[in-house]
Amino acid sequence: MHKNKSNSDLDFKLNEVSISLKQSIKNLDSHTHVRGESLYVDDVNIRQGTFHGVVFDSPKAHGIIKHIDYSKARALEGVERIFTYKDVPGKNQIGGIIPDEPLFAENEVHFWGMPIALIVAESEFIARQARALIDINIEDLPVITTAKQAKAKGSFINAPRSFSLGDFKKVFNDCKYVFEGETFSNGQEHLYIESQGAYAEPLENGTIKITSSTQGPTSVQSITARVLGVAMHKIEVDVTRLGGGFGGKEDQATPWAVMAALACYHLNQSVKLILNRHDDLRMTGKRHPYESTYKIGLSKDLKIMAYEAEFLQNSGAAADLSPAIAERTLFHSTNSYFVPNVTTKVISCKTNLPPNTAFRGFGGPQGMFVIESAIAKAASEIGVSARAIQEVNLLDENDTFSYGQIAKKVEAKNTWDSAKSIFDIETLEKDIEDFNKNNNSFKKGLTLMPITFGISFTNTPMNHARALVHIYLDGSVGISTAAVEMGQGVNTKMMQIAADVFSIPIDKIKIETTNTTRVANTSPSAASSTADLNGKATLMACNSLVERLKIVASEILKVSKDTIELKNESVYVKGEKSELTWTALISVAMLKRVALTENAHYATPEIHFDKTKEKGHPFAYHVYGTAIITTTVDCTRGTYEFDSVKIVHDYGKSMSEGIDLGQVEGALAQGIGWMTMEEIAYNDEGRLLSNALSTYKIPDIFSVPKDVEVIPVETDGNDMAILKSKAVGEPPLMYGIGAYFALQNAIKAFNPKYDLKFHAPMTPEKVLMGLYSK
Ligand code: LUZ
Ligand code: MOS
């Protein structure tokens, strides 16, 4: 068990490099984090004379801009200039997948919080004062806030997508049971601790350097170049680390960086733009709310024979990443189950909300919630436990997903059965049954939640990365990759790879900032794939250097290259330590004019997808797992606690157990938060009501499950994963879906007349209504 594994120190025994690194490594950033020394955008040393920006945004969700009066704002002392779309030298267009999103509104506003202008002043305080002095007159247009309204009005982002397998229509007629229903899952605020921001500074010859809190440095670079009408080589983007991203900075870090760069371009002076929490909450998109319908058909022995679902995605006012997110909903619509006949359809609906965006899971969780709802509904109607249905439909080796990929190295049943036996499901259930028998004012509920998540960007061309590795002449090492550190520990993993291959201590290795001039044309750090893609590139670069160094060593020691090994900062020959140290070897390599730098490119092999057929093999591999979640509901008040979450998780062979456990715990809390307490609210005018932490509740230390246990399932790992250590960022978020159904079960235990509801989040208010519904 890997709970409470203490990470005593950064130093480790050299002769056990890989083993001790794996077990005792702690996040490299932990020292500077706890001392408050870690650098974020707001900590960049700014130049003298730097200006500060504040965004003026739309106070209406939809309308025609009739008039804007900036005169009072301009007249305020300390205001340097106000920038609007008229100041854009290139294209006023920041759309990534579809060019449908202006940087600044022109004549029409499409959501409450849509940027209209950037006020630049001597201080942020003055810029804020100036903002309050702007008069704007907007002629209202009808506001759409829900996906259903959008569908009724024919307001869409793009054409719908649909996956299908088998012949679901015919099969429904042969099913013993057929159920239909509707579900809703709400959005979710990313609430990264570091809000959106950027700092742009002019270098020489029209070059601009941007320090950005972005998951996608190349997006920031290319969109800035587009808006400014300059070549990409004029724009350098640098990222030290993010104070959290969760998908919220995959696309939506870009506008703020572009605005800072635009002002920098015009003023030839540095400009800093950091959104405060209120502005960030109002102006940025969130997880997509989904309104969905399903139809599920089962045989008499509870096999799911057919499944049909339609997902209405509330995309917001522009495409952003919505089409890609919609696609992932379809990929994950059958979760961990094999369903022989499936038809799913997703419609990206254009509404007057801020463009919704990537959020850990990327549409997958929304899809999985629907099939879990369908199963819960079927179970309740048939009079069996959901578990009975889940269990007989779990994915098996060589089953086909609806998108044509054949499931390989499947761990669905393994994690399920392991969870049941390791955690003794019979006793757990018996305890809950006894508790419910003996208590009237509190009831407990239990649920099992299996997960299956595909690893790779669903857009095949994005699955690549590069690493640039320098060995300096004193034997120390610097590594640049496309990976952005956002708290997930990716830098630690990159460092481990280099330490492992070179067999040198970690204090000889530095992970450099993520910078577009050192590693270019990169995909964002996203899709749980950052460590795989960049780690494989790092591994390749380090291995090439080792091959080169072995030749040098063989020349020095006059032995065959094949007998040489680099180990514990020394050269070993046939397993015997030689006199030649790592440092000496590097010095000689320098004298022999051997290149001590290597650049490697990794592109995931085997994957492909044909969008015209909606079939292919989009994922390098899948991650599996099963969680058992128990809850206790206070039946007087409707409040609840999660007593325990017991998980058997497929890490493959984890290369950093502490970091991976941290990812599981964090994702779980975030998933439970999404399903149970985080309630985004917009009013009918499209104004965000949950616009502060007083009105938007996220899990805190008191509401996370009291007892979280994570057991790794023993597998061979997967060679497509870095050092067989599987991607871990997103998959565990979906364990949180089980929390929703555990609550349903507890309510049902109190009120047998309760009609299961599939409308997330399951807040205490909804629980209370359920407890006393007739
Ligand atoms: N981002 C993206 C993602 O662009 N494509 C993906 O498939 C993806 N998946 C998960 C999270 N972010
Ligand atoms: Mo993401 S949801 O930026 O992996």
Tens of pLDDT, residue by residue over 255-304, are 999 999 999 999 999 999 999 999 999 999 999 999 999 999 999 999 99
Tens-digit pLDDT profile for residues 160-170: 999 999 987 78
One-letter identity of residue 165: L
Instruction: Reply yes or no on whether the pLDDT at 14 is more than 80.
Output: no
Residue 459 CA, ligand 1 centroid: distance in Å: 8
β-pairing verdict for 597-603 and 208-212:
unpaired
Ligand 1 pocket residue status of 768, Cβ below 6 Å: no
Q: Which residue lies with its CA nearest to atom 3 of ligand 1?
A: 527
Q: What is the pLDDT of residue 574?
A: 97
Q: Name the 3-class secondary structure at 182.
A: strand
Q: Name the 3-class secondary structure at 256.
A: helix
**Is the distance from CB of 105 to CB of 158 less than 8 angstroms?**
no
Q: What is the pLDDT of residue 45?
A: 94
Q: What is the pLDDT of residue 240?
A: 98
Ligand 2 pocket residue status of 215, Cβ below 6 Å: yes
Q: How far apart are CA 585 and CA 567, in angstroms?
A: 12
Q: How far apart are CA 354 and CA 322, in angstroms?
A: 12
Nearest-ligand number for the alpha carbon of 97? 1
Ligand 1 pocket residue status of 458, Cβ below 6 Å: yes
Instruction: Reply yes or no on whether the pLDDT at 17 is more than 90.
Output: no
Residue of 189, 355, 365 lying closest to 285 (CA atoms): 355
Tens-digit pLDDT profile for residues 524-537: 999 999 999 999 99
Ligand 1 pocket residue status of 328, Cβ below 6 Å: yes
β-pairing verdict for 477-481 and 464-471:
antiparallel
Tens-digit pLDDT profile for residues 85-137: 999 999 999 999 999 999 999 999 999 999 999 999 999 999 999 999 999 99
Q: What is the chain's percent helix, strand, coil content, to nearest 5?
A: 35, 25, 40
- Torsion, Cα of 85, 88, 93, 96 (10° steps): -130
Query: What is the 3-state secondary structure of 541-565?
Result: HHHHHHHHHHHHHHHHHCCCHHHEE
Residue 328 CA, ligand 1 centroid: distance in Å: 8
Residue 250 CA, ligand 2 centroid: distance in Å: 6
Residue 63 CA, ligand 1 centroid: distance in Å: 32
Q: How far apart are CA 65 and CA 139, in angstroms?
A: 6
User: Which residue shows structure tokens 């950037």?
Assistant: 118
Q: With bands split at pLDDT 50, 70 and 90, how would you rate the model's confidence at 7?
A: very low
Q: Which residue lies with its CA nearest to atom 8 of ligand 1?
A: 527
Ligand 1 pocket residue status of 362, Cβ below 6 Å: yes
Q: What is the pLDDT of residue 25?
A: 77
**Is the distance from CB of 557 to CB of 566 less than 8 angstroms?**
no
**Is the distance from CB of 258 to CB of 200 less than 8 angstroms?**
no
Q: What is the pLDDT of residue 20?
A: 53
CB atoms within 10 A of CB 762: 23
Q: Summarize the confidence of residues 178-194 as an average pLDDT.
A: 98
Residue of 307, 297, 329 lying closest to 160 (CA atoms): 329
Total residues found in the chain within this entry: 774
Q: Summarize the confidence of residues 439-451 as an average pLDDT.
A: 98
Q: What is the pLDDT of residue 542?
A: 98
Q: Summarize the confidence of residues 437-464 as an average pLDDT.
A: 98
β-pairing verdict for 177-185 and 759-760:
parallel
Ligand 1 pocket residue status of 292, Cβ below 6 Å: no
Residue 179 CA, ligand 2 centroid: distance in Å: 33
- Quick one: DSSP state of residue 37? -
Mean of pLDDT over the chain: 96
Q: Which atom of ligand 2 is nearest to the CA of 359?
A: 2
Q: Which residue lies with its CA nearest to atom 7 of ligand 1?
A: 457
Ligand 2 pocket residue status of 247, Cβ below 6 Å: yes
Tell me, rounded to whole angstroms, the distance of Cα 529 from its chain centroid.
10
Tens-digit pLDDT profile for residues 544-597: 999 999 999 999 999 999 999 999 999 999 999 999 999 999 999 999 999 999
Tens-digit pLDDT profile for residues 632-641: 999 999 999 9
Q: With bands split at pLDDT 50, 70 and 90, how would you rate the model's confidence at 22?
A: low
Residue 76 CA, ligand 2 centroid: distance in Å: 41
Residues 6+ apart with CB under 8 A from 448: 386, 387, 390, 416, 419, 420, 425, 626, 627, 628, 629, 738
Q: Summarize the confidence of residues 674-685 as an average pLDDT.
A: 98
Residue of 614, 631, 471, 658 lying closest to 548 (CA atoms): 471
Q: Is the Cα dihedral 141, 147, 150, 152 positive or negative? A: negative
Pocket test residue of 192, 214, 218, 246 for ligand 2, highest count of atoms within 8 A of CB: 246
